[in-house]
Amino acid sequence: MGAIFFGFSCQTKTIDYENLAIAITDEAKTNLVQKLTTAIAEGGTKQAIPFCKINAVGFTNQLGKKHGVELRRITNKPRNPSNALSKEEKDIFLEIEKLKTTAGVFPKKTITSDTSVTVYIPVLVGGLCLQCHGEPNLDIKKETLDVLEKEYPGDLAKGYRLGDLRGLFSVKFPK
Ligand code: HEC
């Protein structure tokens, strides 16, 4: 009897994956914005682009490894094709996009499988982002556009407005 009861009580231990994911993505956002701001201050927007190209994916991977998770930035309109959505992620992205509240808030989503728990956290467009993701020639300067065209010939990540859903952080925890 006692052993059975003990067995059950062990199973009730729950991990708050969503809050863990929020802490990890907050750290990633703070770090990415800091690196971006420094790169822009040092060489201007157009020089920050090659910097992002070399560092963004590697930095995101590393930060995930440090926390024992698989951390990615994914989007329906990728600049870097390796950040494109898989078929399953496409459905999740559409669902999150559709559930935007009147206050402009997008929900998070958690998917559980036998072997992992993945938390999806929305990434929104803020003021800093427009100079590289906004309207060409209006928000994005000609000299920046030239660099984007050279570094990312198939770039889809332009034309965004403030508050748009730019992408998702995907935080995958092994179970
Ligand atoms: C200096 C220009 C610049 C600014 C400013 C900028 N980005 Fe980007 N962004 C890039 C580049 C370049 C990439 C592609 C990086 C790569 O090759 O991995 C990128 C990629 C991304 C991605 C990954 C998906 C994709 O399209 O490949 C997200 C998400 C993203 N940016 C969000 C933002 C947000 C949110 C902001 C504002 C806080 C922002 N960016 C500001 C240049 C910029």
pLDDT in tens, 49-60: 999 999 999 999
Average pLDDT on 122-140 reads 97
Whole-angstrom Cα distance, residue 60 to residue 56? 6
Say if ligand 1 is within 6 A of residue 56 CB. yes
pTM: 0.92
Whole-angstrom Cα distance, residue 121 to residue 118? 10
Say if ligand 1 is within 6 A of residue 141 CB. no
In this structure, are residues 77 and 157 in contact, taking their beta carbons and an 8 Å threshold? yes
Say if ligand 1 is within 6 A of residue 92 CB. no
